[in-house]
Amino acid sequence: MKIYRMLTEDDTSQFCHKVSEALSKGWELYGDPTYAFDHANGVMRCGQAVTKEINQAYSPDMKLGQQ
């Protein structure tokens, strides 16, 4: 089955590291990245959806970042 995550972070190199780490763990990019102004915190935020095929049934209790 395919699982989905949305990675988000302030617009810093940390966002690129977060996406790179997910890719190194077998996640694949899904769609285009997003970029928006976070009015509450006064910073630009980035987002990138990723997906991954796994060999187990989905459960809402799954820790997706540990897959």
Number of structural domains found in the chain: 1
Q: How confident is the model at residue 23 (pLDDT cuts 50, 70, 90)?
A: very high
Q: Is residue 20 part of a domain?
A: yes
The model's pLDDT over 26-62, given as tens digits with 9 standing for 90+, comes to: 999 999 999 999 999 999 999 999 999 999 888 888 8
Answer whether residue 47 is part of any domain: yes
Beta-sheet pairing, 2-10 with 43-53: antiparallel
Structural domain includes residue 67: no
Residue 42, sorted as left (phi over 0), alpha (psi -120 to 50) or beta, turns out to be left
62 found inside a domain? no
pTM of the model: 0.87
Look at the alpha carbons of 12, 17, 18, 23 in this order and tell me if their dihedral is positive or negative: positive
Instruction: Identify whether 38 is part of a domain.
Output: yes
Is residue 65 assigned to a domain? no
Structural domain harbouring 31: 2-57
